[in-house]
C-alpha cells in the first residue's frame, strides 16, 4: 500500500477540557484493518467512547481525482436518537480537512468556555470563540474568513440552535447546512465548540493509471443515467415531489452547482432578492441561497414561493430543515412571514420534535415522501442520514443491482452508504448513477492506494461490519411512528443490520 497516495498520515486529538491539540500518526495497520473513512471514524469513536467523542474523518479517496470524491464523515452519538450515527459531509469540508494535513479529528470532552479550532499547514490551534458565540452561521463564516484572510477557508460550525441545545440544531458546512438530521449541532453546542475552520494547501501522490481510470469512469457517469438532468429539483421530481411545489421554487432557480469532483450538479442556487435570470454579479449582499439538502427542500415545498426565504433563515440559525418543515406544517404555517417566530422557537433551548408533538423517527424527521417498507427499515436503523433519498433516484432498484424485497433493498442502501463513506465517495452521487458501482469504487481505491487486496468483497465486508458495529452501540431513545411499529419491522430491522 502507498499511504501517501490517499492519506496525509495524521490523526488530530483535540481535548476540549485541557484546551490541547495533539497529532498522532495514522498507522497503515489501521487502514488495512478498516480501509478508511467512517470505519476508521467508528474505531476511533470506540477507542475514546467514554469521553463522548465527535470524530471528523476523510475517506480513502477523499480529495483524489476519483469522481465524486468530495465526501467525509461526521460521527458521534446522536442526542436525538441515542444511536451512533454517521453524517456525510458533501461540500468542500472534507477535502479541505485532508489537505490541511489531517485525515481525522477526534474531539473529546467539553470546554469550559466557547472555543473554535483552526487547522492549516499541519498546524492545529484552539482559540476563544466568545467573539462569534451567539452569532448566526453566516455571520460566523464571514467573520472567521475575514480573520484568516481567505475566502476559501471551509468551516464546520453551529448557529444559535446548536448553542442553545435545540435538538434541531445542525452542524453546518460553511453557509449551506448539511445532512445532519441527528442533532450533532446540539452536541457541539454542549461541548462549546463553535467552529472548525480549515484551509489546506497539501497534496497527494498519484499512482500510474489512476488518472486515466478516473476520466473513464467520469465519462461513463456523464453519459449514463444522469445525462440531460441537473439540479436538486430533478432529484425531487424523480422521488415523488408534487409538481406545484416544484414549479414555485423552479421560478427562483438561478443556476445549479456540483459539489467538488461530482459529475452531477445536485446543488441549486435560488434567488430571493434578485431576478433569477440575472447574468452578472449582483451588488446585493444576500441575493439568495444554495439548496443542498433534498429532504430539507422536500419538507418545505408546501411553502411554495416562500421556501427560499424560510430555508435561508433556517440555514442562518443552524437548524435542520427537514424537521423544521415537519414542525411548521403541523403549526399550520403557510408563508415566510409566519415562519419567523416559529423558527425562533425551534432554535430555543431544549426544543425537540417529540416534545412538540411532531411525528418522528426516534426524534428525527422522516424522509418526506416515501413510507415504503424499505424506507421505513433504513430510517429505523438510524445509522446513516436519511436526508438523502431512501432509494435509487435515476433508475430502478434492479438497475442499481439491489436485490428484491424490502429487506434486500434496505440492506443494499445501508451497504452502499457505508461503502461510500468508507471510501470518501459522495453517497448521493451513488444513488444517482448506477455506473458508480461498488465494483468501480473498489477498483479505483485499489488502484489509487496500490493495494491489491482491496477487492469489492473486502469493501462489502467492511461496510457490513460498520453497519453491525454502529447498531450494536445504540442506546435508543424516542419511538417510531405508530404506523411503523410491530414485530415484523423489528425482525426485519435486526436482519438488515446484522447482514446475510
- What does the chain come to in residues? 500
Angstrom distance (rounded) from CA 259 to CA 436: 16
Angstrom distance (rounded) from CA 70 to CA 64: 8
Joined grid coordinates for residue 130:
466568545
Q: ∠340-344-348 over CA atoms, to 5°?
A: 170
Angstrom distance (rounded) from CA 93 to CA 56: 10
Cα–Cα nearest to 28, from 65, 3, 60: 3
Angstrom distance (rounded) from CA 39 to CA 238: 31
Q: Could you list the pLDDT tens digit for every one of the 500 residues in the chain? A: 899 999 999 999 999 999 999 999 999 999 999 999 999 999 999 999 999 999 999 999 999 999 999 999 999 999 999 999 999 999 999 999 999 999 999 999 999 999 999 999 999 999 999 999 999 999 999 999 999 999 999 999 999 999 999 999 999 999 999 999 999 999 999 999 999 999 999 999 999 999 999 999 999 999 999 999 999 999 999 999 989 889 999 999 999 999 999 999 999 999 998 999 988 888 888 899 999 999 999 999 999 999 999 999 999 999 999 999 999 999 999 999 999 999 999 999 999 999 999 999 999 999 998 789 999 999 999 999 999 999 999 999 999 999 999 999 999 999 999 999 999 999 999 999 999 999 999 999 999 999 999 999 999 999 999 999 999 999 989 999 998 988 899 999 999 998 77
Question: In sequence order, what DSSP letters do the residues of 377-441 get, joined into one string?
Answer: HHHHH-SB-TTS-SS-SSS-TTTTTPPSSHHHHHHHHHHHHHHHHHHT--TTHHHH-TTS-HHHH
The model's pTM: 0.97
- In three-state secondary structure terms, 228 is coil
Amino acid at each position: 500500500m502507498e499511504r501517501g497516495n490517499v492519506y496525509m498520515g495524521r490523526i488530530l486529538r483535540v481535548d476540549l477540557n485541557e484546551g490541547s491539540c495533539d497529532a498522532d500518526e495514522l498507522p497503515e495497520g489501521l487502514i488495512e484493518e478498516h480501509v478508511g473513512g467512517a470505519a476508521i471514524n467508528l474505531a476511533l469513536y470506540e477507542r475514546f467512547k467514554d469521553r463522548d467523542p465527535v470524530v471528523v474523518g476523510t475517506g480513502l479517496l477523499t480529495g483524489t481525482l476519483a469522481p465524486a470524491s468530495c465526501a467525509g464523515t461526521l460521527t458521534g452519538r446522536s442526542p436525538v436518537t441515542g444511536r451512533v450515527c454517521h453524517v456525510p459531509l458533501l461540500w468542500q469540508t472534507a477535502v479541505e480537512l485532508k489537505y490541511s494535513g489531517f485525515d481525522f479529528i477526534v474531539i473529546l470532552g467539553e470546554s469550559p468556555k466557547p472555543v473554535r479550532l483552526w487547522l492549516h499547514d499541519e498546524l492545529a490551534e484552539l482559540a476563544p470563540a466568545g467573539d462569534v458565540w451567539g452569532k448566526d452561521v453566516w455571520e460566523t463564516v464571514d467573520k472567521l474568513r475575514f480573520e484568516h484572510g481567505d475566502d476559501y477557508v471551509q468551516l464546520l460550525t453551529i448557529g444559535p440552535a446548536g448553542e442553545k441545545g435545540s435538538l434541531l440544531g445542525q452542524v453546518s458546512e460553511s453557509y449551506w447546512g448539511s445532512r445532519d438530521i441527528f442533532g450533532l449541532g446540539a452536541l457541539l453546542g454542549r461541548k462549546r465548540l463553535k467552529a472548525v475552520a480549515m484551509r489546506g494547501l497539501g497534496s497527494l501522490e498519484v499512482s500510474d493509471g489512476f488518472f486515466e481510470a478516473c476520466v473513464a469512469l467520469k465519462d461513463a457517469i456523464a453519459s449514463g443515467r444522469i445525462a440531460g438532468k441537473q439540479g436538486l429539483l430533478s432529484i425531487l421530481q424523480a422521488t415523488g415531489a408534487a409538481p406545484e411545489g416544484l414549479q414555485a421554487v423552479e421560478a427562483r432557480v438561478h443556476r445549479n452547482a456540483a459539489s467538488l469532483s461530482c459529475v452531477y450538479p445536485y446543488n441549486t442556487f435560488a434567488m430571493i432578492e434578485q431576478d433569477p435570470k440575472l447574468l452578472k454579479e449582483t451588488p446585493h449582499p444576500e441575493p439568495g441561497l444554495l439548496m443542498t439538502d433534498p429532504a430539507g427542500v422536500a419538507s418545505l415545498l408546501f411553502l411554495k414561493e416562500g421556501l427560499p426565504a424560510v430555508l435561508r433563515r433556517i440555514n442562518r440559525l443552524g437548524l435542520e430543515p427537514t424537521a423544521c418543515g415537519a414542525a411548521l406544517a403541523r403549526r399550520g404555517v403557510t408563508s415566510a412571514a409566519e415562519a419567523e417566530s416559529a423558527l425562533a422557537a425551534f432554535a430555543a433551548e431544549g426544543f425537540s420534535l417529540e416534545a412538540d408533538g411532531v411525528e418522528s423517527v426516534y426524534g428525527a424527521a422522516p424522509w418526506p415522501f416515501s413510507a415504503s417498507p424499505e424506507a421505513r427499515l433504513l430510517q429505523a436503523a438510524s445509522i446513516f442520514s436519511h436526508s438523502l433519498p431512501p432509494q435509487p433516484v435515476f433508475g430502478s432498484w434492479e438497475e442499481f443491482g439491489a436485490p428484491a424485497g424490502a429487506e434486500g433493498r434496505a440492506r443494499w442502501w445501508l451497504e452502499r452508504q457505508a461503502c461510500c463513506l468508507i471510501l470518501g465517495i459522495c453517497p448521493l452521487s451513488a444513488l444517482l448513477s448506477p455506473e458508480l458501482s461498488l465494483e468501480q469504487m473498489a477498483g479505483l481505491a485499489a488502484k489509487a492506494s496500490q493495494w491489491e487486496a482491496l477487492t469489492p468483497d473486502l469493501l462489502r465486508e467492511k461496510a457490513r461490519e460498520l453497519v453491525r458495529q454502529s447498531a450494536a452501540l445504540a442506546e435508543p431513545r424516542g419511538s417510531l411512528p405508530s404506523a411503523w411499529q410491530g414485530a415484523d419491522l423489528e425482525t426485519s430491522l435486526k436482519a438488515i443490520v446484522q447482514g446475510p
